[in-house]
Structure 1
Amino acid sequence: MFVSSKSRAQAALIATSVLLSASSSSFVHASPSEPLNRRATTCNGSPDLCNRSFGNVTFVGAHDSYAVGINNLAANQDYNITQQLNDGIRMLQMQAHNLNGVIQLCHTSCSLYNGGPLSTYLGTVKTWLDANPNEVLSLLIVNSDDLPPTEYDTVFKGAGLDTMSYAPPSASIPATQWPTLGSLIDSGKRLLTFMDASADFTSVPYIIDEFTNIWESPYDVTTTFDCSVNRTKGDSTTEMYLINHFLDTLILGQPAPDPSQANQTNAVSGTNSLGAQFELCASQYGRNPNFMLVDFYEYGGGSVFEVAATANGVTYSPTTPIATPIPQGGSSTTGSGTAGSGTPSPNSAVSMTTRWTTVWVLFSSAMLGAWYVV
Structure 2
Amino acid sequence: MRLSSTLTPAVLSLLVPGSLALSVNLQSRATTCNGSPDLCNRSYGNITFVGAHDSYAVGINNLAANQDYNVTQQLTDGIRLLQVQAHNLSSDIQLCHTSCDLLNGGTLDNYLSQVKTWMDGNPNDVVTMLIVNSDNLDPSLFDQVYKSAGVDTLSYNPPAASMPATGWPTLGTLIDAGTRLVTFLSTTANFAEVPYLIDEFSNVFETPFDVTTTFDCSVNRTSGDPTTQMFLINHFLDQVILGFAAPFVEEANATNAVSGSNSLGEQVQLCVSDYNRSPNFMLVDFYEYGNGSVFQVAASANGVSYNPTTPIATPIPQGSQTSSASGSAGTVSTTSTSIGFALSVIIGAMSIS
Q: Residues 112 and 347 from structure 1, CA distance in 2 versus in 1: closer, same or farther, beyond 3 angstroms?
A: closer
Tell me, yes or no, if structure 1 residue 195 matches structure 2 residue 177: no
Deviations 1:228-247 (A, max 9, x none): 00000101110000000000
2:341 to 357, 362, 366: 357
Q: 1:209 aligns with which of 181, 194, 199?
A: 199
1:68 touches 1:77 (CA, 8 Å); kept in 2?
A: yes
Question: Is the alpha carbon distance of 1:316 and 1:97 closer, same or farther for their aligned partners in structure 2, counting shifts above 3 Å?
Answer: same
- How far did 1:37 drift? 4.9
User: 2:259 matched to which residue of 1?
Assistant: 269
Give 1:367 deviation, angstroms. Answer: 5.0
**Cα distance, 1:364 vs structure 2:** 3.6
Aligned-partner SS, 1:301:
coil
- Percent identity over paired residues: 65
What is the letter of the counterpart of residue 308 of structure 1?
Answer: A
Is the 8 Å Cα contact of residues 78 and 333 (structure 1) preserved in structure 2? no
Say if 2:270 is the partner of 1:302: no
The one-letter amino acid of 1:256's match is: A
Q: 1:289-337 CA deviation, whole Å, 9 max, x = no partner?
A: 0000000000000000000001111111111000000001124668xxx
Q: What secondary structure, in the 3-state scheme, does the structure 1 residue paired with 2:129 have?
A: strand
Structure 2 residue matching 1:171: 3-state secondary structure: coil
- Aligned partner of residue 162 in structure 1, secondary structure: coil
- Relative to structure 1, is the Cα distance of residues 344 and 216 closer, same or farther in structure 2, using a 3 angstrom cutoff? farther
Q: Return the structure number with greater relative CO, CA threshold 8 A, min gap 6.
A: 1
2:271 to 276, 281, 306: 281
Give the alignment of 1:17-166 within 5 angstroms. 37-166=27-156
Aligned to 2:174: 184
1:357 deviates by 2.5
| AA in 2 matched with 1:152 | F
**For 2:340 and 2:255, how far apart are their aligned partners in 1?**
26
AA aligned opposite 1:350: T
Pair 1:363–1:152, CA change in 2 (3 A): same
| 1:115 alignment partner, SS class | strand
Question: Does structure 1 retain, via aligned residues, the 8 Å contact 2:58–2:334?
Answer: no
Report the CA distance between 1:276 and its aligned residue: 0.2
Distance 1:344 1:258, change over 3 A: farther
1:318 is the counterpart of 2:302: no
SS in 2 for 1:110: coil
2 CA distance for matches of 1:281 and 1:124? 33
Q: In the aligned structure 2, how far is the partner of 1:228 from the partner of 1:332?
A: 40
Q: Is the 8 A contact 2:51 2:81 kept in 1?
A: yes
Q: Report the Cα distance in structure 1 between the residues aligned to 2:323 and 2:139, rounded to whole angstroms.
A: 30
Instruction: Show structure 2 runs of 5+ residues with no match.
Output: 1-17
Deviation at 1:347, TM superposition (A): 5.5
- Look up the match of 1:32: none
Residues 15-35 of structure 1: CA distance to partner in whole angstroms, max 9, x if unpaired? 99x99xx9xxxxxxxxxxxxx
- Matched residue of 2:34: which SS? coil
| Structure 1 unaligned residues grouped into runs of 5+ | 1-11, 23-35, 370-374
Distance 1:295 1:151, change over 3 A: same
TM-score, normalised to structure 1, is: 0.85
Q: Is the 8 Å Cα contact of residues 83 and 344 (structure 1) preserved in structure 2? A: no
Return the offset for 1:366: 4.0
Deviates more, 1:357-366 or 1:46-55: 357-366
Paired with 1:186 and 1:43, the residues of 2 have a C-alpha distance of 10
Separation in 1, partners of 2:334, 2:242: 28
Distance 2:352 2:305 in 1: 49
With the length of structure 2 as denominator, give the TM-score of the two structures.
Answer: 0.90
Kindly tell me the number of residue pairs found equivalent between the two proteins.
333
Contact 1:136 1:191 in 2 (8 A): yes
Aligned to 2:224: 234
Larger Rg: 1
Q: Deviations over 1:126-182 (max 9, x none)?
A: 000000000000000000000000000000001110010001001000000100000
**1:78/1:332 contact within 8 Å kept:** no
Q: Matches of 1:364 and 1:244 in 2, distance apart?
A: 29
Shift of 1:277: 0.3
Any idea what the Cα deviations from partners look like across 1:253-306, whole Å, max 9, x if unmatched? 221111100000000000000000000001100111000000000000000000
CA distance in 2, matches of 1:49, 1:92: 20
Q: How far apart in 2 are the matches of 1:315 and 1:37? A: 23
